[in-house]
Amino acid sequence: MKHLGLFAAGVLFGIAGLKILSSKDAKKVYSHTTAAVLRAKDCVMQAVTNVCEDAEDVYADAKDINERRAAEEDAEVIEDASEEKANEE
């Protein structure tokens, strides 16, 4: 008999829970919570976009620096070669 009473109480509790979760007030809470999550998602996506743009800028600057270094090293090699030719003559 005790088990039957616990089962009945569980069923009643479940039915009451479903009624509460499907009420208009609960639906308003769900809507407001979902709206807040969507706003947070937009904010996070904007931050991610900003980070990606900054990373692209850093990458482009790094490429420029390396290209300038390579050009300077090439110029030094050419200067060394021309000095060697002058010494040979």
pLDDT tens digits for range 17-59: 778 878 888 899 999 999 999 999 999 999 999 999 999 999 9
The DSSP result for 12-49, as a single string, is HHHHHHHHHHTSHHHHHHHHHHHHHHHHHHHHHHHHHH
Residue 51 main-chain phi, psi, to 5 deg: -65, -40
Cα dihedral sign, 48-49-50-54: positive
C-beta of residue 26 within 8 angstroms of C-beta of residue 20: yes
Burial 69-81 (b: 16+ CB within 10 A, else e): eeeeeeeeeeeee
Looking at the whole model, is its pTM more than 0.85? no
Q: What is the Cα–Cα distance from 2 to 54, expressed in whole angstroms?
A: 67
Which pLDDT belongs to residue 88? Answer: 60
